[in-house]
Structure 1
Amino acid sequence: MTEKALPYDEKRAISLLKTVTTATLTTILIKKGLRNVWMRNAGPLKSGQTRVVGRAFTMRFIPAREDLANPDSWSSPTSTRAAIEAMPEGVIAVFDAMGVRDAGILGDILCARMAKRNVAGLVSDGVVRDAAGIIETGLPVWCAGVAASPAIASLTFVSWQEPIACGGVAIFPDDLIVADDDGAVVIPAKLVDEVVDLGIEQERFEGWILREVNAGHALTGLYPANAENKARYEAWREEHIGKGDGASR
């Protein structure tokens, strides 16, 4: 089955956004009118994880019901196991666990399989189990913490690749996810190409400002930049970068 075309250049976006922080992206998205893009309670399982960028592959849990949430469900065609086998390479699995913190949505074995399938990462507002083993798999994980109990203690897995909520944020399949030490941010699919260009330029501009601060310049008129400092930046940019900056199409 042929995958549907994305409204953005996936390869370009992933490559360039690996150099853009989630802090920068939230600022850009606020300027675009989107304030609710940072997923709450989805912090890095291990500090210093590599920044990851990838399409959202959504996974959804609902509250546990005893006739559904039992060990037999692990062999169901609608299971986390089946969903993992459907994940394309390079996606970021985003789990809606409703913020539940007393049941690990998955552990080291499932994460090992995701790593073998070259899944880029996992983001959830829930918790995981077998934390030490998950870290050993090398799969970057952002979540609300850890718990020993399995998911079926409190949750029932019901579907994948449909709109979900994660950390109070709406996530649609194929939105782009960026996650780093500050957490995980969603970029709506239709805005990705524009945000990429704005992000690259914002990182460059703020890098210049930081160099000016380190050189002893006062913040007044520099951050935010007044007309004089904007002109100084443009002159620096043209000298060091040129009019074509590599981020343009």
Structure 2
Amino acid sequence: MSTPESARQPDEAVTRLRRLDCCAVSDALDLLGLAGQVTGVPKRSGSAAKIAGRVITLKLHDGPRPDGPLRHLGTTAVELSDTDTVIVVEQRSGKDAGCWGGLLTLGAKLRGAAGVVADGPVRDIDEAREYDFPIFSTSLTARTARGRVVEAATNGPIVPWGVPVEADDYVIADSSAVIFIPAAKVNAVLDAAEAIAFKEAVMAKALLAGKPISLVMSGDYENMLEGGDK
């Protein structure tokens, strides 16, 4: 029996991730020798400074539709979404065709989804702004997907911006970057990022107390990613 939405427990990793920013998470990936940072993806809508959540993947292509009942692209991803999820779309066909649009945005908003991250063109962005729904995307368009691209899979593997991403991985996005974290590594990344954020908070407190910045950002800052307590 499925768990009612009202009875679902919040994802602790999502809760922790939302307390961080992309810079701390990026430093944690560097410390652990991991990749997953994508820069240069602007936020197109939404007033929230950042979004974070567990990934629902949506892959579009210009090939044949998958077997099974006909559904409009993205609707399965919307129906799977909840407050702990971010829908990540890959539309790397090279065609100027919307991989996300206004009705999908409204549907995701009503489900409480945290936002959308799209490697591809998004349309109806003014509607997303009216709904105050966060979308990060490579580009904008008015061109419909109809007759151009179709859904290839939901919650299958994708490679947005060349980064391998699986369903139930994690993502955080803000004005600095979009960062993907493999589910198997999320606790290690969160531990490292929280330690880095704590050290930076201590240094900020020292600056506010009047300590010279040259002293605050000497050994403490330069050695931050070495894992020690210098």
Instruction: State the TM bucket, normalised to the shorter chain.
Output: 0.7 to 0.9
Q: Secondary structure at the match of 2:194?
A: helix
Contact map agreement 1:56 1:91 (CA 8 A) in 2: yes
Q: Is residue 34 of structure 2 the alignment partner of residue 21 of structure 1?
A: no
- Distance of 1:189 and 1:32 partners within structure 2: 15
**Structure 1: tracts of 5 or more residues without a match:** 4-8, 69-74, 232-249
Instruction: Spell out the pairing of 1:206-225 with structure 2 (5 A cutoff).
Output: 206-213=200-207, 215=210, 216-218=212-214, 219-225=217-223
> Alignment partner for residue 160 of structure 1, among 151, 154, 159?
154
CA separation of 1:100/1:42 partners in 2, compared to 1, >3 Å: closer, same or farther?
farther
Does residue 105 (structure 1) correspond to residue 99 (structure 2)? The answer is: yes
Q: Aligned partner of 1:201: which letter?
A: A
In 2, Cα distance between equivalents of 1:230 and 1:140? 37
| Bigger shift: residues 169-178 or 91-100 | 91-100
SS of 2:120's equivalent? coil
C-alpha contact 1:54 1:176 (8 A) present in aligned 2: yes
1:151 is paired with a residue of what secondary structure? coil
| Superposition deviation, residue 60 in structure 1 | 0.3
- What is the Cα deviation at residue 38 of structure 1? 1.8
Q: 1:156 to 1:53 in 2, by over 3 A?
A: same
- For 2:55, the equivalent position in structure 1 comes to 56
Where do residues 1-249 of structure 1 align in structure 2 (5 Å cutoff)?
11-35=11-35, 37-40=36-39, 42-46=41-45, 49-62=48-61, 64-65=62-63, 76-77=70-71, 79-98=73-92, 100=94, 102-152=96-146, 154-213=148-207, 215=210, 216-218=212-214, 219-225=217-223, 230=229
State the Cα distance separating 1:221 from its structure 2 match.
2.5
How far did residue 168 of structure 1 move? 1.3
Give CA deviations for 1:61-114 in whole Å, capped at 9, x if unaligned.
11x25x76xxxxxx9236322332233442110001117472221212210111
Q: TM-score, length-normalised on structure 2? A: 0.81
Question: Residue 222 and residue 40 in structure 1: after superposition, are their counterparts in 2 closer, same or farther (change >3 A)?
Answer: closer
TM-score normalised according to structure 1 size: 0.76
1:24 Cα offset (Å): 1.1
Give, as a single letter, the amino acid of the residue that structure 2 aligns with 1:44: K
Give the whole-Å Cα distance in 2 for the aligned partners of 1:210 and 1:89: 32
> Which is greater in Rg?
1
CA gap 1:222/1:108 in 2 versus in 1, 3 angstroms:
same
Q: CA deviation at 1:43?
A: 2.3
Q: Is the 8 A contact 2:51 2:114 kept in 1?
A: yes
Structure 2, gaps ≥5 residues long? 4-8
**CA contact 1:57–1:94 (8 Å) conserved in 2:** yes
- Which secondary structure state, in structure 1, belongs to the residue aligned with residue 106 of structure 2? helix
